[in-house]
A and B are shown apart, each in its own frame.
Chain A
Amino acid sequence: RKEVEQDPGPFNVPEGATVAFNCTYSNSASQSFFWYRQDCRKEPKLLMSVYSSGNEDGRFTAQLNRASQYISLLIRDSKLSDSATYLCVVNNNAGNMLTFGGGTRLMVKP
């Protein structure tokens, strides 16, 4: 079983739609959680950190459920520019070693 699991998609949605991605992780000792965005043939870029209390950044909302070991990302009012692969990332220790999921591909269409 992979340490971080995501539905690979692709998720094909029209502009303006709301889309949600989910991720599960296996290590209950995991300490920090993130969503990274990766455009085709580019490097991953931090989208947002994820906290148990939930956090929002504009159209993006992230949520962590430690009991279920589940992380979510909600994108409202999708834009064409949101088309990318979204990587769920977990940090299992203070050494800052990131464990990535396989990514979920999002395609927003006109």
Chain B
Amino acid sequence: DAGVTQSPTHLIKTRGQQVTLRCSPKSGHDTVSWYQQALGQGPQFIFQYYEEEERQRGNFPDRFSGHQFPNYSSELNVNALLLGDSALYLCASSLHRTLGTDTQYFGPGTRLTVL
């Protein structure tokens, strides 16, 4: 049973460029959340996708966008990269519940460096 997978593992970009990160959720999960973790800090919630729609969004600018596909996999896109976007980007998958919450399982992350 495959866990959460993310690609690529590492990425180096320059300021102003655009980047796309990918995530495949754990088997049986239908909800994907994205987090940004800067060095020395805890992860910060970016947004969450369920049924191919953005359901919740954290305090991130519109440069951050995403998509969820029918097979539940997801992409995170960041436009006009800034130096401050350098971070570990974590994808977490879970099972949507009408009541209560489900445990989130994290992927290994994509380490983005912006030069």
Q: Chain A: residues with CB nearer than 8 A to chain B?
A: 4, 31-32, 41-46, 49, 87, 91, 94-103
Contacts and interface: CB of A to CB of B under 8 A. Distances in A.
B45 A99 contact: yes
Interface of B: 31, 33, 35, 40-45, 48, 55-56, 58, 90, 92, 94, 96-97, 99-109, 111
Q: Give the dominant DSSP class at A's interface.
A: loop
B17 to A, nearest CB: 24
Nearest to A101: B42
A38 to B, nearest CB: 9
A87 B55 CA distance: 25
Contacts of A95: 48, 55-56
Contacts of B94: 96
A96 B108 contact: no
A110 B56 CA distance: 45
Given A44-B90, A97-B58, A32 B107 contact: no
A86 to B, nearest CB: 11
